[in-house]
């Protein structure tokens, strides 16, 4: 009884005294909710050789971001995505793309747990429409780095001395869904009651110490398993981006090795160059004509060899224009010619798009 | 005995949490003041005040920069040596994606930037604005400078929001100084 009363007194004193003593000055943080979002509408036209053209209009993705910060160190962030306007069976997708508790201990060390993103390439973590030039995300970031690559797991991150790093451990891939046409993309479990038998391990480092330049690499390892297959994959990639004085350039190259199955390796690269001509007109808006080239083969090395290594070997050049009246809105147009090595069949592609972020 | 131990650990836990609460704000104050000493030396004197922003000045500067002031006050340090004012320090905040970024701008009496520093960065992404190479590029600038990201101010890939916010925030301080310097 005596101890209880003494404890109570001390507790009360501890809560009241500091708040009298400590000034409210220099305390700039207040708990708050953040709402945000991004999205994009696309018009896509494609024509393979003399075949009839295919045209689609699609609100490709609509994302709602909401988060809450309880303290300077503890916060929650999430992204909910609706793809293709509508969900019905196999049509459309509704996904919880991010949902994690974030503990920011210091700039050099933080921790995340929940639905997190794999830390790889230039676009997986920075995928808002005004942040890339073309209407659709680069093909490299579809079949080599399957953006948006997310899943249930945990991560450590930090920034120190010009270096930025992240280490992620999360659910692995379903090896039954790997394919020669799209590499490991089909294997993403997307968090749905994910099989946690074999976890995925990922590490990424970037150097940001030189003005306007980002240069980095990442590695991903997963002993992926499915109902009928087990395929160990190792993905290594290198990426760099430069933005200065109106010039914009990006380059990504990656390789995936598989230890079983017919496909033994997927690899590819692409590069973008653009220049902001808005400055020449003396306006604040950005007008970015750009050129892209890629060379990607999701079945670069196969056990069967021969045509199977040519069937999904694509090279493409693209020209386009990205217009950003303000930094958060982008109107885009692009035209490309894509050629497959097998029989040199060419596809004409034309796209229009509008995207936003806030 | 067991009960005493439970109470002891509970008190210890509470104490550690309260200590954390107390020192976060204190750390910002101490780091800012340590910076002043580091740049100007031990012999300087400085005074601190919370400068209230007049509505007209606030709105004028906000509309030029297109960024709102964080609060009603700006934290102002007046630095003097040998009884003469030699510099002013402004401690202010801008928003990154969802958290405040606390920064400190030191200017000479002519409005030229002596030094800029990020005092506290709170987000998981975009922390590269704290990199020396980036934050030091503001040194020497005054209100004549462009403050255009991608031109006279380099951008940081993956830190677009924080780069733009901090750049505007620093420009805002210079414009504010221009408006209030006769009062200081």
Q: Of A3, A72, A208, which is closest to B156 when you measure between CB atoms?
A: A208
Quick one: pLDDT at residue B97?
86
Chain A residues with CB under 8 Å of B3 CB are 3
- Chain A touched by B16 (CB under 8 Å): no
- A26 and B133: CB-CB below 8 Å? no
* Residue B2: band (very low, low, confident or very high) from pLDDT cuts 50, 70, 90: confident
**How would you classify the pairing of strands A263-275 and A286-302?**
antiparallel
pLDDT at B16: 60
The answer to whether A158 and A242 are in contact (CB under 8 A) is no
- Whether residue B21 and residue A112 make contact (CB cut-off 8 A), yes or no, is no
Q: What is the spatial distance between Cα A80 and Cα A102, in angstroms, rounded to a whole number?
A: 17
Average pLDDT over residues A107-122: 95
**Minimum CA–CA partner of B151 in chain A:** A245
Strand residues in chain A grouped as ranges (E) = 32-48, 54-69, 74-88, 91-106, 109-117, 150-160, 163-170, 200-207, 213-225, 230-244, 247-258, 263-275, 286-302, 313-324, 329-340, 345-357
Position B25 scores a pLDDT of 85
* Structural contact between residues A324 and A130, judged by C-beta atoms closer than 8 angstroms: yes
Report how far apart the first and last C-alpha atoms of chain A are (Å, whole number): 57
Whether A178 and A143 have beta carbons less than 8 Å apart is answered as no
pLDDT-based confidence at residue A191 (cuts at 50, 70, 90): confident
The larger pLDDT score, comparing residue B79 to residue A23, is at: B79
The mean pLDDT value for A214-230 works out to 96
How many angstroms separate the Cα of A305 from the Cα of each of A311, A332, A342, A345, B135?
Answer: 11, 39, 13, 20, 53
State yes or no: pLDDT of A329 exceeds 90.
Answer: yes
Instruction: Flag if A214 and B14 touch (Cβ within 8 Å).
Output: no
Q: Give me A144's structure tokens.
A: 């080599």
B6 interfaces chain A, CB cutoff of 8 Å:
no
Q: How confident is residue B128, by pLDDT bands cut at 50, 70 and 90?
A: confident
pLDDT at A46: 95
Residue A16 confidence class, pLDDT cut points 50, 70, 90: low
β-pairing, B113-120 vs B100-108, is antiparallel
Across chain A, mean pLDDT equals 92
Measured between alpha carbons, how far is A81 from A60 in angstroms, rounded to an integer? 10
* Cβ contact A116:A168 at 8 Å: yes
Taking contacts as CB-CB distances below 8 angstroms, the residues of chain B near A112 are 124
Tell whether B14 lies on the interface with A, counting CB pairs under 8 A.
yes
- Cβ contact (<8 Å) for B124 and A23? no
Lowest pLDDT segment from A83-97, A291-305, B164-178: A83-97
Decide: A229 and A260 in contact? Cβ < 8 Å: yes
For chain B, the structural domain boundaries read 43-183
Residue B116 belongs to what H/E stretch? strand B113-120
Q: Among all chains, which residue has been given the structure tokens 């005040």?
A: B49
Cis before A126? omega within 30: no
Which residues of chain B are within 8 Å of residue A122 when distances are taken between CB atoms? Answer: 157
Banded pLDDT at B102 (limits 50, 70, 90): very high
CA–CA–CA angle A8, A13, A18 (5° rounding) = 145
**Contact between chains at B150 and A246 (C-beta distance less than 8 A):** yes
Q: Is the Cβ of B99 closer than 8 Å to some Cβ of chain A?
A: yes
What's the pLDDT band for A22 if we cut at 50, 70, 90?
Answer: very low
C-alpha B148/C-alpha A24 separation (Å) is 35
pLDDT at residue B152 above 90? no
Work out the angle between the directed axes of helices B55-65 and B160-180 (0-180°, nearest 10).
140
pLDDT the model gives residue A145: 98
What ipTM, to 2 d.p.? 0.79
Task: Give dist(CA B26, CA B23) in Å, integer.
Answer: 5
pLDDT grade for A176, boundaries at 50, 70 and 90: very high
Percent of chain B topping pLDDT 70 = 93
Scan residues 30-49 of B and list those with Cβ closer than 8 Å to A: none
What pLDDT is recorded for position A194? 87
Percent of chain A, pLDDT > 90?
Answer: 78
> Of B7, B29, B154, which has the smallest distance from its Cβ to A26's Cβ?
B29
Structural domains of chain A in order of their starting residue, each with its CATH number: 43-56+102-357 (2.40.160.10)
Task: Tell me: pLDDT of A11 over 70.
Answer: no
Q: Which helix (H) or strand (E) holds B75?
A: strand B73-81
Question: For position A20, what pLDDT does the model report?
Answer: 45
Interchain pair A243, B29: CB under 8 A: no
On whether any CB of chain B is under 8 Å from the CB of A245, the answer is yes
Is residue A59 scored above 60 in pLDDT?
yes
Closest CB to B25 among A26, A69, A112: A26
Per-residue confidence (pLDDT) for residue A290, from 0 to 100: 98
């Amino acid at each position: 009884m005596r101890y209880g009363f003494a404890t109570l007194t001390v507790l009360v004193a501890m809560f009241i005294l500091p708040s009298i003593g400590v000034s409210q000055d220099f305390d700039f943080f207040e708990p708050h909710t953040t709402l945000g979002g991004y999205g994009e509408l696309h018009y896509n036209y494609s024509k393979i050789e003399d075949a009839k053209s295919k045209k689609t209009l699609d609100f490709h993705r609509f994302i709602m971001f909401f988060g809450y910060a309880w303290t300077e160190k503890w916060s929650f962030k999430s992204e909910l995505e609706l793809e293709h306007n509508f969900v019905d069976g196999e049509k459309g997708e509704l996904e919880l793309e991010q949902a994690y508790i974030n503990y920011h201990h210091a700039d050099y060390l933080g921790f995340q747990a929940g639905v997190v993103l794999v830390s790889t390439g230039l676009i997986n973590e920075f995928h808002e429409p005004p942040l890339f030039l073309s209407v659709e995300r680069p093909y490299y970031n579809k079949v080599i780095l399957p953006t948006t690559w997310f899943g249930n797991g945990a991560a450590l991150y930090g920034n120190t001395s010009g270096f930025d790093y992240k280490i992620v451990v999360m659910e692995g891939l379903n090896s039954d869904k790997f394919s020669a046409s799209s590499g490991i993309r089909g294997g993403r479990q997307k968090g749905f009651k994910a099989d946690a038998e074999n976890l995925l391990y990922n590490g990424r480092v970037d150097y940001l110490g030189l003005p306007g330049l980002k240069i980095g690499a990442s590695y991903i390892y997963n002993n992926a398993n499915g109902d009928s297959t087990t395929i160990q994959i190792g993905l290594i990639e290198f990426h760099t981006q430069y933005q200065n004085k109106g010039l914009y350039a990006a380059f990504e190259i990656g390789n995936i090795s598989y230890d079983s199955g017919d496909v033994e390796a997927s690899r590819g690269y692409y590069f973008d160059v653009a220049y902001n001509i808005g400055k020449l007109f003396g306006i604040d808006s950005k007008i970015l004509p750009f050129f892209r080239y890629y060379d990607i083969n999701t079945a670069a090395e196969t056990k069967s060899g021969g045509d199977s290594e040519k069937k999904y070997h694509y090279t493409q050049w693209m020209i386009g224009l990205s217009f950003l009246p303000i930094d958060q809105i982008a109107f885009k147009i692009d035209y490309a010619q894509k050629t497959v090595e097998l029989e040199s069949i060419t596809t004409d592609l034309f796209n229009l798009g509008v995207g936003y972020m806030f | 005995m067991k009960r005493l131990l439970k109470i002891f650990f509970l008190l210890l836990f509470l104490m550690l949490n309260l200590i954390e609460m107390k020192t976060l704000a204190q750390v910002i104050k101490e780091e800012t003041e340590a910076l002043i000493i580091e740049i100007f030396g031990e012999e300087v004197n400085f005074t601190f005040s919370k400068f209230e922003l007049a509505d007209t000045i606030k709105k004028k500067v906000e509309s030029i920069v297109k960024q709102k002031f964080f609060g009603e006050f700006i934290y102002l340090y007046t630095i003097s040596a040998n009884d003469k004012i030699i510099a002013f320090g402004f401690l202010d905040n801008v928003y990154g994606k969802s958290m405040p970024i606390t920064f400190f701008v030191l200017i000479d009496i002519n409005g030229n930037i002596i030094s800029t520093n990020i005092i506290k960065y709170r987000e998981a992404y975009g922390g590269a604005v704290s990199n020396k190479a980036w934050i030091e590029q503001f040194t020497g600038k005054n209100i004549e400078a462009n403050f255009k990201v991608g031109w006279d101010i380099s951008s940081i890939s993956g830190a677009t929001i924080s780069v733009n916010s901090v750049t505007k925030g620093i420009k805002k301080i210079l414009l504010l100084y221009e408006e209030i310097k006769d009062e200081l």
